Structure 1
Amino acid sequence: MTVLSQLVSLVFGGLVPGFLLGLLAFRVKSRWCPRCGESTLAMPPTERDR
């Protein structure tokens, strides 16, 4: 029974950090436009744009 509990903790111990890294990668990736590569964050107008 202890082998099974160690195996389960080992599997979940690897899944949790992988899941969190996947969330972080998606959040970072979603900042960029997939078509043009520009930032998707709203930028304030510069002096040149006025």
Structure 2
Amino acid sequence: MAKKRKVKKTNHNMQTERKPSKKEKRNKLIVYLMIIIMLGSALTTVLAQIFS
């Protein structure tokens, strides 16, 4: 009777799943904030054109 071997999981995908640094998180937050501000500005411009 042959023994079954335990298959070890390799950590090839662990490199891509690293935790983002504080600087990366802050940069991402700034980008999202700028996008929201830009959309708000465009919306108010459209509303100003409609009601003028």
- Judge same fold: TM > 0.5, yes or no: yes
> Who wins on radius of gyration, i.e. which is larger?
2
Q: Higher helix proportion, which one?
A: 1
| Residue-pair matches, total | 30
Q: Which runs of 4+ in 1 moved over 6 A?
A: none
Query: Does structure 1 residue 2 correspond to structure 2 residue 17?
Result: no
RMSD over equivalenced CA pairs, Å: 0.6
Unaligned regions of 5+ residues in structure 1, if any?
A: 31-50
Unaligned regions of 5+ residues in structure 2, if any?
A: 1-22
**TM-score under structure 2 length normalisation:** 0.55
> Displacement of 1:13 after TM fit?
1.0
Identity across the alignment (%): 13
Query: Does structure 1 residue 24 correspond to structure 2 residue 46?
Result: yes
